[in-house]
Amino acid sequence: MPRRELDTTELFVQSAYRRMLLIRKLEERTLELSAEGLIAGSIHPSLGQEAIPVGAVAGLQENDRVLATYRGHGWAIAAGCDPTAVLAEIAQREGGTNGGRAGSALLSDPAHGFLGENSIVGAGVPIADGVALAAKAQGTGRVVVTSIGDGAMNQGSVTEGLVFAAARNLPVIVIVENNGWAEMTKGDAINRLDGFVARGEALGIESHLVDGLDPFAVQRAVRDAAEKCRRGVGPVLLECMTVRLKGHYNRDIEHYRSVEDRSDAAAREPIHRLRESALDLGLSDENELDAIEREVQAQVDAATDAVRAMALPDVSTVFEHLYGPPIELSASTDESEQELTYQRAANLALRTELLERPEVLVYGEDVGHGGGIFGVTRGLQKEFGSERVFDTPIAEAAILGSAVGAAMEGMRPIVEIMWADFVFVAFDQIINQASNVRYINSGRLSAPLTIRMQQGVTAGSCAQHSQSIEAFFAHIPGIKVGLVSNPQDAYDMLRAAVADPDPTVVVEFRSLYQESAPVRIGGPVQRAEGARVRRAGGDATIVTWGAMVPKAIAAAEALADEGTNVGVVDLRWLRPLDDEAIERAVIDGGGRVIVAHEATSTGGFGAEVAARIAERHGALLKAPVRRIGTPDVRMPAAPNLQDALIPQSSTIAQAVRELIA
Ligand SMILES: Cc1ncc(C[n+]2csc(CCOP(=O)(O)OP(=O)(O)O)c2C)c(N)n1
C-alpha cells in the first residue's frame, strides 16, 4: 500500500484531492457501466464517504492491513490497488483483482494489504481480530483497520469481535462509517442512542468521534489509534461521521429518503469541501485542482477502455482453487505405540502440533486454564503459555472469525467449539467466510484453520446438546469435514486437519472420549481424506462414521454368530468423500449396502451416500440402499426416550437381516 503521509501542506491537499476524486469518478463510472449493461448485479458505491479510506490509509504504515465492508471500493483504491483491476473486478472481468470471482462486494487484493470486502454485514470484524492476532503472534507490529457501517454496529459478530479484540488487546482499529443509513432504514429509527462512541467505551475500548468528511481528521485519528495499537493498548474504535450521496446500491431509487436528507448530504459532501478549503487557505488554486480533475478523468477513461476490451473470465478455470494442493507425505519418523483414550489421543495430537509448528494457536471457551470441559486441551496452556493456548470470551463468531483471519495471515489456529450445537450461532464464519477465502482469491490467500467440536447423544443430553450436524458442513464446498470414530483417528485425523492447507472441521464424539486403544504416534501425517475398512464381509456392507462405527462393528459381530458376514466401512472424511471406498463397499458387500448414522435421517449425509451409489453403481445393487438414522424427532433428555430413537447395534443388525433376506 502506498502509505504516503498526508500533511496539511499543498502537496497533501492535492494528493488527497486526487485520491478522493479517483474513488468518486471511478464509482460514478461503475454506475454508468451498470446502466449500460456492462456490469451485472449490484454495486454499492461509497460516494460521499471518500475521505474516510483516503485519510485512514494515510494514517497507516506500509505493512498494515485493511478489511472493508461491501461498500469498499474506496478502501481498495486508497490501499493502492490498481484502479483498472478494481473496475475490472466490479465488471466481473478476467483482469479484475479477483479474476471476476468476487465482483463489487467481495473484492480483495492481498498484495496491497487489502484483505477484502465482506458482503456479510459485520463479519469482517472477527476476521480482522484474527489478522491482528497473527500480527501479535508473529511480532510484525502490524495494525489492522476494518471498516463497517453504522448499521453493522447492531450485528452480534461486531460486538463479539470488539469484545474479543478487547480481551486480547489486539491491534485493531474499527472504523464505523456512520452515514446515518442502514440500507433503507435511518439510524435513529433503530438505535435508541445517538452514535457509537459510548458503545465502544462500554466494552472498555478507547473510542472517538471523528469528522469523516475531513481526510486530515481521519488521518490524525487513525495515526494516533495505530500508535496505541502498536504499543499494545488496542483496539480503538473510530466513529467517522459521513454522508451517503446516492442510493444504497446502483438500482436504489431512494423512495424512502426525503429530499432534505439528500440535499443535506450533497451540501456536506467532502470533495467540494476539500477543494473550497484548499482555495481558502491558499494551498492550491483553481488551475491546479482543475488539472488534477482532468488527469483523474483521463485515468478513469483509460481504465474504462481497458475494461471494455477485457475478456470475461475463462470458463475452464471455474473449478480451480477450491482446495489447495495435497500435502506432501513425509517419511515415517520415530513411530511408537501407546494405549490411549480417544480424549488423550486428541490431546497428544494438539500437543504434537504445538511442538512442531510455531504457527499453531489453540483456543476457545475454557480451553486454556481449564483445559476444556472434556479435558482435551488439559495441560497445554501450562506447557505452551497463554499466548498460544488461551481462553476466549463466549463469542463463537469471534472464535471462528478470528481463526479465519489468523489463518489467512499464516497461522494454523485450532479452535474449539464446545458443543457442535453451538456452532449455529456463528455458522457464517465457516459457511460464508472460511470456505470462500481460497476460491475468491484464486489461491493467493487461504485459511488453513482447524475447528474441533464434539457432537451426538449421551444419556440425559438435551435437544440443544445432542445433535449430529455433519451434513450441514459436508454440504459446503471449500471446507473439509472429518468424523472421528476411534482413538487412532483422534490422533491421526486431527494432525491431518492441521497439516491441511484448507479449513477443516473435525467432529469428535463425546460418547467415545473415554474409549481406549493402542495408538501409533509420531508417524507420518496423513492427508485429510480416505475411508477405512473396519471389518471385511461379503454378504453386505455397512457404510458409517463417527459414533455409529462401534455400533456397526458390534452389529457385524452379532451377525457373524448367525453366519452372516458383514463388512463395515468407516468413511471418516465426508468431504472430500472417498468415492472409491464407496464403490468397493458396494462390490465387497455383494450389492447390498446399509448407510448408518446418528444424525436424523431426512437430509442426513446418508442420503448423499445412497444417491451416489444409485447414480454411479446402481447396476451393481442387489437391493435398494437402506438408510438408518435417528427418526425425525427432537432429542428428548430422558435416556429411555433417547434409546428409543438412536440407532443401536440391534437396529443395524435387524436392517441387515431384512436386506439380505
Ligand atoms: C448479515 C447480513 N444481514 C443483512 C444484509 C443485507 N444488507 C446489506 S447492506 C445492509 C445495510 C448495512 O448498513 P450499514 O452497516 O450502515 O452500512 P452502509 O450500507 O451504510 O454502508 C444490509 C441490511 C447483509 N448483507 N448481511
pLDDT in tens, 55-78: 999 999 999 999 999 999 999 999
State yes or no: pLDDT of 287 exceeds 60. Answer: yes
Neighbour count for residue 633 (Cβ, 10 Å): 11
pLDDT band for 8, please (50, 70, 90 cuts). Answer: low
The atom of ligand 1 lying closest to the CA of 244 is: 20
The pLDDT of residue 332 is above 80: no
Closest ligand 1 atom, residue 150 Cα: 16
Question: What order of strands is seen across the sheet that includes strand 532-538?
Answer: 532-538, 566-570, 540-544, 593-600, 626-630
- For the record, the C-alpha cell of 221 comes out as 485519528
Query: Which atom of ligand 1 is least distant from the CA of 69?
Result: 21
Q: What is the mean pLDDT of residues 619-643?
A: 97
Is residue 205 within 6 Å of ligand 1 at its C-beta? no
| CB of 466 shorter than 6 A to ligand 1 | no
> 572: CA distance to ligand 1 center in Å?
39
Tens digits of residue pLDDT in 544-564: 999 999 999 999 999 999 999
Closest-lying ligand 1 atom to the alpha carbon of residue 122: 1
Tell me the HSE value of 103 on the side-chain side, using a 13 A CA sphere: 12
Q: Is 73 in the pocket of ligand 1 (CB under 6 A)?
A: no
Per-residue pLDDT at 4: 43
The mean predicted confidence, pLDDT, of the chain is 96
Q: Is the CB of 118 under 6 A from ligand 1?
A: no
**Residue 455 β-bridge partners:** 509
Tell me the average pLDDT across 590-600.
Answer: 98
Nearest in space to 502 (alpha carbons), one of 324, 371, 631: 324
Q: What is the pLDDT of residue 654?
A: 98
Any ligand 1 atom below 6 A from CB of 457: no
Residue among 44, 112, 321, 465 flagged as catalytic:
465
Q: How far apart (Å, rounded) are the C-alpha atoms in residues 260 and 458?
A: 62
CA of 149 to the centre of ligand 1 (A): 7
- How much is the pLDDT for 12? 75
Distance CA 153, CA 135 (A): 25
Residue nearest to atom 5 of ligand 1 (CA): 121
Q: Which residue, 126, 145, 124, 134, is CA-closest to 52?
A: 145
Question: For 159-183, what is each residue's pLDDT tens digit?
Answer: 999 999 999 999 999 999 999 999 9
Tell me, in angstroms, the distance from the centre of ligand 1 to residue 429's CA.
16
Q: Is the pLDDT of residue 5 over 60?
A: no
Percent of the chain with pLDDT over 70: 98
Mean pLDDT of 293-304: 98
- Give the CA diameter of the chain: 99
- Active site (annotated) includes residue 112: no
Q: Which 3 state secondary structure label does DSSP give 536?
A: strand
Residues 6+ apart with CB under 8 A from 227: none
**Ligand 1 geometric centre to CA of 184 (Å):** 10
Instruction: Please indicate whether residue 151, judged by its CB atom, sits closer than 6 Å to ligand 1.
Output: yes
Tell whether the model's pLDDT for residue 127 goes beyond 90: yes
Q: Is the CB of 71 under 6 A from ligand 1?
A: yes
Distance 401 CA to ligand 1 centre (A): 18
State the amino acid at position 652 in one-letter form: I
Q: Supply the residue whose CA is at minimum distance from atom 10 of ligand 1.
A: 183
In the three-class reduction of DSSP (H, G, I as helix; E, B as strand; rest coil), residue 594 is classed as: strand
What is the pTM for the complete model shown?
Answer: 0.97
pLDDT reported for residue 126: 98
Please list, residue by residue across 127-137, b when 16 or more beta carbons sit within 10 angstroms of its beta carbon and e when fewer do. bbbbbbbbbbb
The reported pLDDT for the residue numbered 2 is 46
| pLDDT tens string 603-617 | 999 999 999 999 999
The owner of cell 452372516 is 564
Q: Ligand 1 pocket, 540 CB below 6 A?
A: no
Q: Is 152 in the pocket of ligand 1 (CB under 6 A)?
A: yes
Q: Look at residues 517, 497, 432, 423 and name the one whose alpha carbon lies nearest to residue 467.
A: 423
Mutate to test the pocket of ligand 1, among 73, 157, 183 (most ligand atoms within 8 A of CB): 183
pLDDT at site 593: 98
pLDDT digits (tens, 9 = 90+) for 505-516: 999 999 999 999
Cell numbers of 633, please? 424427532
From 3-7, 50-54, 466-470, the region with the lowest mean pLDDT? 3-7
Residue 330: pLDDT band by 50, 70, 90 thresholds? confident
CA dihedral 629, 631, 633, 635 (to 10 degrees): -40
Q: How many whole angstroms from 70 Cα to the centroid of ligand 1?
A: 8
For ligand 1, atom 17: residue with the closest CA: 149
The residue among 6 and 197 whose pLDDT is bigger is 197
Mean pLDDT, to the nearest integer, of 421-440?
Answer: 98
Q: Is 248 in the pocket of ligand 1 (CB under 6 A)?
A: yes
Give distance in angstroms: CA of 529 to centre of ligand 1: 38
**Which protein residue's CA is at the shortest distance from atom 18 of ligand 1?**
149
Nearest Cα residue to atom 4 of ligand 1 = 121
Q: Is the CB of 468 under 6 A from ligand 1?
A: no
Task: Answer yes or no: is pLDDT of 9 > 70.
Answer: no
Q: What residue owns the CA closest to ligand 1's atom 25?
A: 120
Residue pair 129/412 in contact by the 8 Å Cβ criterion: no
Kindly give the residue spans of alpha helices, DSSP state H, lying in 332-467: 342-356, 380-384, 396-408, 428, 437-440
Q: What is the pLDDT of residue 638?
A: 98
Q: Is 45 in the pocket of ligand 1 (CB under 6 A)?
A: no
* Distance from residue 69's CA to the centre of ligand 1 (Å): 9
pLDDT (average), residues 630-655: 97
pLDDT in tens, 521-545: 998 999 999 999 999 999 999 999 9
User: Distance between CA atoms of 520 and 336, rounded to whole angstroms?
Assistant: 6
Which residue, chain included where needed, has cell 459521513? 242
The finding on whether 179 has its CB within 6 A of some atom of ligand 1 is: yes
Q: How far apart are the first and last CA of the chain?
A: 70
Q: 401: Cβ below 6 Å to ligand 1? A: no
Mean local confidence (pLDDT), 637-647: 97
Q: Ligand 1 centroid vs 191 CA: distance in angstroms?
A: 15
Q: Is 69 in the pocket of ligand 1 (CB under 6 A)?
A: yes
Distance (angstroms) between ligand 1 centre and the Cα of 473 equals: 25
Which residue's CA is the nearest one to ligand 1's atom 3?
Answer: 121
